Amino acid sequence: MIIDFDQVTAENVSRHFGRRRALSRISFRAGRGMILGLLGPNGAGKSTMIALLATLMRPSEGDIKYGTHRSNTTGASLRAAIGILGHDLFLYPELTARENLTFFAGLYGAGDARAAATAALEQAGLADRADDAIGSFSRGMRQRVALERALIHRPRLVLLDEPFTGLDDASAAALVARLRALRAEGAIVVLATHDLDLADGLLDSALFLRDGRMVDTVARPDALRSTYRAIMGRPGVS
């Protein structure tokens, strides 16, 4: 049974570790063909929210709903619809790009693993380096492979945690174009980043987080940097 859904909803989601509150009562909704940005400084809780959305962690309070399905009732079938690109890339440096992609394609049930891997390499523009070990790649190249790995099973929900880290301009532009293409295909994209310049003009909706709290939500934000400063500079935001 494969699960598909039209939207992801977070309802009053909180997560704490002992005494430390990582997230406090976060609520939002993201639908198909939409890019939602989680913005905030380091330690705001963006990575935690991504992990919660990926079902790698369970919320301490509140609920995350995928369509009508709740995260704690469905396991493997829900994971088939989720793709995550973490900060740590999730690639085996000893294996080649092709081997990494073939492995994950097989593991994630992407049909014909070798074909999917070849197609992904084409997408990433790395067909000529396919048989080189990932360990020899630059950060940008690794990022491209990692993105393809995250998308190889064509998930409905795409989660990206700081995907622009260490990318040069060309790679960043390529990533932005890719995300726009995903949106056009109807995916739900949640993007956590503190790189405001790159996210500018890309987001359909932005959630501003600080110290685990939701400071503001802005639909169709523009001039992100000034909006961000204005919101974060408000009194009462400690």
Partner 1 sequence: MPKWFLPLTGLCAVMFAASPFIIANADYEATMGLVQKIFYYHLPSAWIFLLSAIVCGIASARFLFRGSPRQDRLAYAAAELTVLFGAIVLVTGPLWARKAWGVWWQWDVRLTSSLMGWMVAWAYLLVRKYGGPGSDKLAAGLALFGMANVPFVYVSVNYWRTIHPATTVVPTLPVDMGLALWFSVACFLLLFVLLLRLRVHLEEQRARLDALYLSLDE
Partner 2 sequence: MPARRSLGEGGFGRTAWLVLRKDLMVEVRSLEIAYTTLFFAISCVLFFAFALVKEGKAPEDGAAGILWIAIAFAGTLALGRTFERERQSETLRALLMAPADRPAIYVGKLLGIIALLSVAELVLVPLVAFLFQAPLLSHPFWLSAVLISGTVGFSAVGTLFSAMLVRARSRDVLLPVLLYPITVPVIIAGVRATAALLEPDVELSLVRFWVALLLALDVVFVTLALWTFEPLMTD
List of residues contacting partner 1 (CB under 8 A)? 16-19, 21, 24, 211-212
Burial of 58 (0-12, 13-18, 19+ CB in 10 A): exposed
Rank residues 99 and 200 by Cβ distance to partner 2 and give the closer one. 99
With a CB cutoff of 8 Å and minimum separation 6, the contacts of 175 are 143, 147, 163, 164, 167
Rank residues 158 and 224 by Cβ distance to partner 2 and give the closer one. 158
With a CB cutoff of 8 Å and minimum separation 6, the contacts of 211 are 43, 44, 45, 238
Which window, 61-69, 117-125, 148-156, 221-229, contacts partner 2 (CB under 8 A)? 148-156
- What is the C-alpha separation between 71 and 33, in angstroms, rounded? 21
Query: Which residues, 58 to 117, sit near partner 2 by CB under 8 A?
Result: 58, 75-82, 84, 86, 88-95, 99, 103-104, 106-111
- What is the C-alpha separation between 122 and 84, in angstroms, rounded? 20
Rank residues 16 and 194 by Cβ distance to partner 1 and give the closer one. 16
Query: Among partner 2, partner 1, none, what does residue 1 contact (CB within 5–8 Å per kind)?
Result: partner 2
Q: Which of 57, 53, 56 is nearest to 26 (CA)?
A: 53
Structure tokens at 96: 């080649």
Rank residues 20 and 220 by Cβ distance to partner 1 and give the closer one. 20
Rank residues 22 and 113 by Cβ distance to partner 1 and give the closer one. 22
CB of 136 to partner 2, least distance (A): 12
Backbone φ, ψ for residue 232 (5° rounding): -70, -20
CB of 96 to partner 2, least distance (A): 9
Give the HSE-up count for residue 23: Cα atoms under 13 Å, Cβ half-sphere: 30
Positions touching partner 2 (CB under 8 A) are 1-2, 4, 51, 54, 56-58, 75-82, 84, 86, 88-95, 99, 103-104, 106-111, 133, 149, 153-156, 182, 185-187
